[in-house]
Every structure is written in structure tokens, then in C-alpha cells.
């Protein structure tokens, strides 16, 4: 009985840790995707501005 009791006490902590690590991984992946999208949008804006400048000249 005593061993099963300690296992039961350890189990929620393991689940909590795995949940937090999964959340952190998802959060960092989301941040990386957002950063990549912002970089692509910035490059696209620069390209459009360059095209407009070339057309103006």
C-alpha cells in the first residue's frame, strides 16, 4: 500500500511537468512562426517600396 501511495503522489507532478514543457514548446514554436511571418511581411514591404522607388525614378 505504501509504495502505491507514493506513486500516486508522484504522478500529478509528472503530468504537470509534461504539460508545462508541451506548452512551452508550443509557445516557442508559435513565437518563431510569428517572427518568421513578420520578417516575411517586412521583406515583402521592402520589396514593394523598392519597386515603387524604381518606378518613380
Res 1: pLDDT: 47
Res 14: pLDDT: 56
> pLDDT tens digits, residue range 1-56?
455 555 555 555 555 556 677 778 888 889 999 999 999 999 999 999 999 999 98
HEC letters along the chain? CHHHHHHHHHHHHHHHHHHHHHHHHHHHHHHHHHHHHHHHHHHHHHHHHHHHHHHHC
Res 6: pLDDT: 55
Neighbours of 9 (CB within 10 A): 9
Res 56: pLDDT: 85
Res 7: pLDDT: 54
Res 24: pLDDT: 80
Amino acid at each position: 500500500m505504501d509504495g502505491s501511495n507514493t506513486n500516486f503522489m508522484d504522478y500529478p507532478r509528472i503530468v504537470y511537468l509534461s504539460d508545462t514543457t508541451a506548452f512551452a514548446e508550443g509557445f516557442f514554436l508559435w513565437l518563431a512562426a510569428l517572427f518568421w511571418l513578420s520578417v516575411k511581411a517586412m521583406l515583402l514591404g521592402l520589396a514593394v517600396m523598392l519597386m515603387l522607388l524604381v518606378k518613380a525614378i
